[in-house]
Amino acid sequence: MEPVLEVDLKGALPLVSRGKVRDIYQVDERTLLFISTDRVSAYDVLMENGIPNKGEILTSLTVYWLKFLTGALPSLRSHLVTTDLPAGVPVNSRDMARNRSLVVRKLKVFPVEAIVRGYLAGSAWLEYKESGTVHGIPLPAGLMESDKIPDGPLYTPSTKAEQGKHDENIHPDKAADIVGAAYAEDIKEVSIRLYELASFHALQRGIIIADTKFEFGHDEVTNEIVLIDEVLTPDSSRFWSLESYQPGKPQDSFDKQFLRDWLTKQGLKGKEGTVMPEDVVTKSREKYIEAYEKLTGETFRD
């Protein structure tokens, strides 16, 4: 099974940008076409090979979560218009683009990543060990790696860096300086609410959402904050097995952590030109599929 590293639209639609994983095309003045490829990046570096079906899984999970969250929170607006391919996609490209594409509203993007953390892991754990804080927010002493954060999830934003540069963890007050106090508070409130809704749902399916990243756009006509980008996928979240969860150590993950661990062990962290061996590709694909099936209750079919 070969990964789809690029979907060639034969110049039928203007290319807006090509990211590490997703290609964005202009449909018209108001809408964009997102195509999620099977490319994979870790530590901000793109791997030379991809993971088959990854783009389909991320797209399907995003659609699933958008339906769930807008149903649970009727006031929530998302950028999704349709999963149907626009007429401009050439006939001989449609099979490859189908099931990995979203037509979305074109919006002004808030330049912060709305990260919500329910558990101490990753960079949050490293900062806590060093200073007893997470994004500059003090936490009680004596917490262990992977502990649930006392008093509820934390809103811990980061800057949204340009491609090729690194995001920077910031205090929520700094986010207010970037996007404005009114918008910052609304983004914080809705991000925590979305995390709480998704976390409760995922726990019923045997998955802990340790942390996740949301992104938002601004509808300048209605002045609404709109949920955009991929939502609660293995690429934007840290998923753990509830069954094997044990604080005080790293956890079994249903996300890119398996690939990150392999890169670190092999001394390849952050190195360009890395080719994943077949066993890492296979195991990573299995992790993505397992996350999809556990969260949705559906069997993944490519």
As annotated, the residues of the chain forming the CATH 3.30.200.20 domain(s) are 15-105
pLDDT in the model for residue 302: 73
Q: Tell me: the pLDDT tens digits for 106-118?
A: 999 999 999 999 9
Residue 207, amino acid: I
pLDDT in the model for residue 167: 78
Residue 168 reports pLDDT greater than 60: yes
Q: Tell me: the pLDDT tens digits for 206-242?
A: 999 999 999 999 999 999 999 999 999 999 999 999 9
**Confidence class of residue 164 from pLDDT cuts 50, 70 and 90?**
low
Q: Are strands 31-36 and 237-241 parallel, antiparallel or unpaired?
A: unpaired
CA distance 176 to 171: 9
Three-state DSSP state, 147 = coil
pLDDT in the model for residue 237: 95
As annotated, the residues of the chain forming the CATH 3.30.470.20 domain(s) are 108-256
Q: Tell me: the pLDDT tens digits for 88-139?
A: 999 999 999 999 999 999 999 999 999 999 999 999 999 999 999 999 999 9
Residue 228, amino acid: I
Residue 253 near residue 240, CB atoms below 8 Å: yes
Residue 165 reports pLDDT greater than 90: no
CA distance 184 to 28: 30
Q: Is the CA virtual torsion 275, 280, 284, 286 positive or negative?
A: positive
At CB < 8 A and 24+ separation, what contacts does 16-24 make? 17/163, 19/163, 20/44, 20/46, 20/163, 21/55, 21/58, 21/235, 22/55, 22/230
> What's the mean per-residue pLDDT of the chain?
94
Q: Tell me: the pLDDT tens digits for 245-301?
A: 999 999 988 878 889 889 999 999 999 999 999 999 999 999 999 999 999 999 998
Q: Tell me: the pLDDT tens digits for 64-74?
A: 999 999 999 99
> How crowded is the C-beta side of 81, counted as CA atoms within 13 Å?
17
pLDDT in the model for residue 148: 98
Residue 162 reports pLDDT greater than 70: no
pLDDT in the model for residue 45: 92
pLDDT in the model for residue 161: 65
What's the whole-number mean pLDDT along residues 40-64?
95
Domain 108-256: homologous superfamily in CATH: ATP-grasp fold, B domain (3.30.470.20)
Question: Any idea which fold 15-105 has?
Answer: Phosphorylase Kinase; domain 1 (3.30.200)
Residue length of the chain: 302
